[in-house]
Structure 1
Amino acid sequence: MGASRAAGSSLAAFLADAARSGVDEALRTLNLPGLAGRPPAEIFAALTDVFCPDGGTIDEAIAREAFVEMIIDLSEIGVADIADLAPERMPEIFELFVAHAIEARIENDIAMKAVAVPANTDAAQRVQDVLCDFIRRAVQDVMVRADDLRELAQDRIKEWVDTVYAQAFELLRVLGDEEAR
């Protein structure tokens, strides 16, 4: 998940700057001042291209997918202007990205047949719902312990993302086995 970790670190730095100095200033540091005042979907779409350039690897696709899913979530929860978000809410955006990156990595593993899932669509949906809820809660738990987005160095991000991923993967295996019975 190298591309996802790099994108996550860049996103964390941007969000920390936005919380500290404001969104407009954070955009200016990325040489994107023209996005100031634009809707979140537009800002994060541009940041997707900056932090997750188009590429050909699966990991790069996972990072881009996580960004797109994060943008959709922001729209669904009604974030109309990132500048209106209180600084203490910036980590929530990062949490969304990380959770989606882990989910996409597991989906890739399922596609690669690294783990089996129930053949019944209702059972598979139940497993997916439990798994996604687990991942989001685990990411939130880790973020509660992080004092500042800037403190999240790549090696720390890697360590806890790998831990959450391993726990989620094991949960998926257990749930898949239970549903298969």
Structure 2
Amino acid sequence: MADQGVGDFGSLTADQLTEFFLGFVIHTIEGRVVADLGHRAIERPMSAEEAKLVQEDLHQFVDGHVRGHLGTLLDRVRDLPESEISGMVDRIYRASFELVSATAGDVE
């Protein structure tokens, strides 16, 4: 928000609020995946280059799925039960974790 010169939520346009919400969800899922990978999935050290490639794959996957699944619901997000949003986020997280843990295992 600081990069865009926005100082508070009250001054955000509807498009900026949408982008903030989607970005928050995307980064939350990515953070969960990275934390879980660090705790239980990757058994051997990766090079910085390999880790960067995995992170880029993760971001593209999560970004596409969040925008594809949640982006279509944003017009009525206030009417959606929290459980529906949480369930969708959890499904994207699980798919992301599976993709990246498999990718990380294949990186050589």
TM-score over 0.5 for the alignment? yes
Q: 1:87 aligns with which of 14, 29, 32?
A: 14
Once the 2 structures are TM-superposed, how far is the Cα of residue 174 of structure 1 from its aligned partner?
2.2
Are 2:72 and 1:145 aligned?
Answer: yes
Once the 2 structures are TM-superposed, how far is the Cα of residue 122 of structure 1 from its aligned partner?
0.6
Residues 150 and 102 (structure 1), Cα distance of their counterparts in 2 relative to 1, 3 Å cut? same
Aligned residue number for residue 30 of structure 1:
none
Aligned residue number for residue 39 of structure 1:
none
Aligned residue number for residue 99 of structure 2:
171
**Percentage of pairs with the same residue:** 26
Query: 1:99·1:139 contact (CA, 8 Å) conserved in 2?
Result: yes
Please tell me the root mean square deviation across aligned C-alpha atoms, in Å.
2.0
1:1-181 matched pairs, under 5 angstroms: 74-76=1-3, 78-81=4-7, 82-113=9-40, 115-116=41-42, 119-146=46-73, 147-180=75-108
User: Residue 164 of structure 1 aligns to which amino acid in structure 2?
Assistant: I
Q: Which moved more, 1:133-142 or 1:159-168?
A: 133-142
Aligned pairs, number: 105
Residues 79 and 171 (structure 1), Cα distance of their counterparts in 2 relative to 1, 3 Å cut? farther
Structure 1 moving runs of 4+ over 6 Å:
none
Task: Give me the whole-angstrom Cα distance separating, in 1, the residues matched to 2:45 and 2:85.
Answer: 31
Q: Which has the higher contact order (CA 8 A, sep 6+)?
A: 2
TM-score, L = length of structure 2:
0.82
Task: Give me the whole-angstrom Cα distance separating, in 2, the residues matched to 1:144 and 1:110.
Answer: 27
SS in 2 for 1:112: helix
Once the 2 structures are TM-superposed, how far is the Cα of residue 172 of structure 1 from its aligned partner?
0.3
Gaps of 5+ in 1: 1-73
User: Residue 6 of structure 2 aligns to which amino acid in structure 1?
Assistant: A
Query: 1:131·1:168 contact (CA, 8 Å) conserved in 2?
Result: yes
SS in 1 for 2:6: coil
Query: 1:127·1:176 contact (CA, 8 Å) conserved in 2?
Result: yes
Structure with max Cα Rg: 1
Gaps of 5+ in 2: none
Once the 2 structures are TM-superposed, how far is the Cα of residue 111 of structure 1 from its aligned partner?
2.4
Once the 2 structures are TM-superposed, how far is the Cα of residue 79 of structure 1 from its aligned partner?
4.2
